[in-house]
A and B are shown apart, each in its own frame.
Chain A
Amino acid sequence: DQQVKQNSPSLSVQEGRISILNCDYTNSMFDYFLWYKKYPAEGPTFLISISSIKDKNEDGRFTVFLNKSAKHLSLHIVPSQPGDSAVYFCAANSAGTASKLTFGTGTRLQVTL
């Protein structure tokens, strides 16, 4: 049972436009959410996170939105740059689980010129 779902395997966006990556979860115990970025042949790197007590967190060009009632979060990248081309994973955690993360299947973002 996939508790964290990224239903779009891939996304193509033009440079300078907004990229929106979506993630849905089913476990209502999740209370902390993270986005990771992964380039080929490298390990994932942490990008941005959000606690369930917030509905928005912003860091430069990256903003994460959380809709708890819909069990949905999204990552907005504005403006998109060619260097943003990577696979993006969302992940979720619940308190008391030794920092274990449950990951989605990933969305491959391609930013075109």
Chain B
Amino acid sequence: DAGITQSPRHKVTETGTPVTLRCHQTENHRYMYWYRQDPGHGLRLIHYSYGVKDTDKGEVSDGYSVSRSKTEDFLLTLESATSSQTSVYFCAISESSRNRKNEQYFGPGTRLTVT
């Protein structure tokens, strides 16, 4: 199994509060991704990173920001949590796009509930 951990694994928070989710990898992979999984939508990309301090938006980036100050850590922040952000969040890593395998390895997920 790829060395990917997510913290916290579960969180309940109130509307309007900031929340930060952490993804940590021990594989030294270049690419890191944040997805959310919702019924009827599958997995949707929020933000991704292609290197330290290099990030870009995915398809559902509104209300989220990310930071990557080290290769191994990728943080996802909800600036002001809303009930629509209740979801399961997955982090994923990928070694390189050069080999064109594009296989991503996923963490165990964080279940976030915004009340």
Contact = CB atoms under 8 A, between A and B. Distances in A.
A106 to B, nearest CB: 5
B15 interface: no
Contacts of B78: none
B7 interface: no
Contacts of B103: 34, 46, 49
B106 A95 contact: no
A99 B56 CA distance: 12
B97 interface: yes
Interface residues of A, number: 28
A43 B97 contact: no
Interface in B11-50: 31, 33, 35, 40-45, 48, 50
Contact of A106 (B4, B42, B90, B107): B42
Interface residues of B, number: 29
B45 A43 contact: no
B105 interface: yes
A44 B35 CA distance: 11
10 contacts: A36-B106, A42-B108, A44-B90, A49-B102, A91-B43, A93-B102, A98-B56, A99-B102, A100-B58, A103-B42
Given A42-B108, A101-B102, 14 more contacts: A43-B92, A43-B106, A44-B90, A44-B106, A95-B100, A96-B97, A98-B48, A99-B94, A99-B96, A100-B45, A100-B48, A102-B45, A103-B35, A105-B40
